[in-house]
């Protein structure tokens, strides 16, 4: 029994790490998408294509469409996770560098913990709170150079709003009936795409397919790896870990994003990257990965 539990924990940890690595490229992909496509339309196109892939996977795996509370919950999850979260994130990344935007998303663990406690899903654990504070200190150290540049206040607020929506979506998933992650994401991305495309039409954005090859490459990454693979792995992890523990994904992702953004998008890297990265990893270990005495 103990061996089986240990194997499941290792598999969950592997899913967590792979998701963090792949999600690290999403912010850079969105920056490239935003250079040619209007933000709401770009997000809607991404999740519309992702929904088509999820539905094809459902058919291949012969999964049934959820009903009742499971269906309603998946729709609400999709509107919050893929609609509101990414409408705000895409808007923010029009002005913000990808690394800086992901640094703001590193607030997700703190927000998730506070929401989970407020909604009586979890207890306030000292280790989780300490880990969040240490990890946040790390991303603040990493962000010293970008913070010296002028940034648009509305873009910063949009990034913070995106973090709040993502945190609430993570807490919400834990309340929903257990459904196959492919099915939940098929319903969720469909609902989110509808919200984003309607918002794009209301905003009067230009509706056009990409022309530049860089935009198509970014879109392909965002759809296949950044959405289909990442969000299946996320729900696998959330089925086994508390929402506040899963949320530490968002303090690992900025490390990957900052490196990729510096390489592909000429984002400046501050001298505090190494120190900040070590603090982030230390906070993740204390708050999310180190087993509490009662779990040992």
Evaluate if residue 213 carries a pLDDT over 90.
yes
Name the range with the highest mean pLDDT among 2-16, 107-121, 203-217: 203-217
Question: What's the whole-model pTM score?
Answer: 0.80
- Per the structure, the count of domains in the chain is 1
Position 161 scores a pLDDT of 92
The band of 282, judged by pLDDT with boundaries at 50, 70 and 90, is confident
The band of 279, judged by pLDDT with boundaries at 50, 70 and 90, is confident
Position 250 scores a pLDDT of 76
Position 128 scores a pLDDT of 77
Position 259 scores a pLDDT of 80
Least confident of 15-24, 223-232, 241-250: 241-250
The band of 194, judged by pLDDT with boundaries at 50, 70 and 90, is very high
Position 115 scores a pLDDT of 87
**Which residues form the domain of 247?**
23-295
Pairs from 152-155 (Cβ < 8 Å, separation ≥ 24): 152/95, 152/96, 155/91, 155/92, 155/93, 155/94, 155/95, 155/96
Position 278 scores a pLDDT of 76
Least confident of 67-71, 76-80, 122-126, 272-276: 272-276
Which whole number is the average pLDDT over 94-98? 80
**Is 10 part of a structural domain of the chain?**
no
Evaluate if residue 109 carries a pLDDT over 60.
yes
Position 296 scores a pLDDT of 45
Task: State how far the Cα of 64 lies from the Cα of 47, in Å rounded to an integer.
Answer: 21
Evaluate if residue 73 carries a pLDDT over 80.
yes
Q: Which residue has the higher pLDDT, 48 or 120?
A: 48
Which whole number is the average pLDDT over 104-108? 77
The band of 86, judged by pLDDT with boundaries at 50, 70 and 90, is very high
Q: With pLDDT > 90 as the criterion, what percentage of the chain qualifies?
A: 39
Task: State how far the Cα of 106 lies from the Cα of 280, in Å rounded to an integer.
Answer: 10
Average pLDDT of the chain is 84
Question: What is the chain's percent helix, strand, coil content, to nearest 5?
Answer: 80, 0, 20
Evaluate if residue 293 carries a pLDDT over 60.
no
Position 186 scores a pLDDT of 95
Which SS3 state, helix, strand or coil, does residue 8 take? helix
**Is 9 part of a structural domain of the chain?**
no
The band of 107, judged by pLDDT with boundaries at 50, 70 and 90, is confident
**Is 11 part of a structural domain of the chain?**
no
**Is 130 part of a structural domain of the chain?**
yes
Least confident of 45-59, 147-161, 214-228: 147-161
**Is 214 part of a structural domain of the chain?**
yes
Are the CB atoms for 249 and 20 separated by under 8 Å? yes
CA 4 to mean position of chain CA atoms: 29
Evaluate if residue 149 carries a pLDDT over 60.
no
Evaluate if residue 287 carries a pLDDT over 80.
no
Q: Report which secondary-structure segment, H or E, holds 16.
A: helix 2-23
């Amino acid at each position: 029994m103990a061996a089986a539990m240990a194997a499941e924990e290792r598999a969950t940890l592997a899913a967590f790490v792979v998701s963090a690595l792949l999600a690290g490229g999403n912010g850079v992909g969105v920056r490239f998408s935003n250079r040619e496509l209007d933000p709401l339309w770009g997000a809607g196109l991404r999740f519309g294509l992702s929904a088509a892939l999820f539905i094809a996977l459902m058919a291949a795996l012969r999964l049934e469409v959820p009903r009742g509370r499971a269906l309603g919950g998946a729709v609400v999850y999709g509107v919050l996770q893929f609609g509101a979260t990414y409408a705000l994130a895409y808007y923010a990344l029009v002005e913000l560098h990808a690394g800086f935007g992901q640094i703001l998303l590193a607030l997700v663990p703190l927000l998730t913990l506070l929401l989970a406690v407020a909604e009586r899903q979890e207890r306030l654990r000292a280790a989780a709170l300490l880990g969040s504070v240490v990890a946040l200190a790390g991303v603040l150290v990493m962000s010293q150079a970008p913070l010296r540049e002028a940034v648009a206040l509305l873009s910063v607020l949009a990034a913070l709003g995106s973090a709040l929506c993502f945190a609430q979506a993570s807490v919400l998933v834990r309340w929903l009936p257990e459904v196959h992650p492919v099915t939940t994401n098929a319903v969720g991305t469909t609902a989110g795409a509808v919200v984003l495309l309607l918002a794009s039409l209301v905003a009067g954005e230009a509706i056009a397919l990409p022309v530049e090859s860089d935009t198509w490459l970014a879109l392909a990454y965002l759809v296949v790896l950044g959405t289909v693979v990442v969000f299946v792995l996320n729900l696998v992890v959330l089925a086994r870990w508390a929402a506040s523990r899963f949320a530490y994904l968002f303090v690992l992702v900025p490390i990957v994003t900052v490196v990729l953004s510096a390489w592909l998008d000429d984002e400046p890297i501050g001298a505090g990257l190494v120190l900040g990265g070590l603090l982030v990893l230390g906070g993740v270990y204390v708050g999310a990965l180190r087993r509490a005495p009662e779990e040992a």
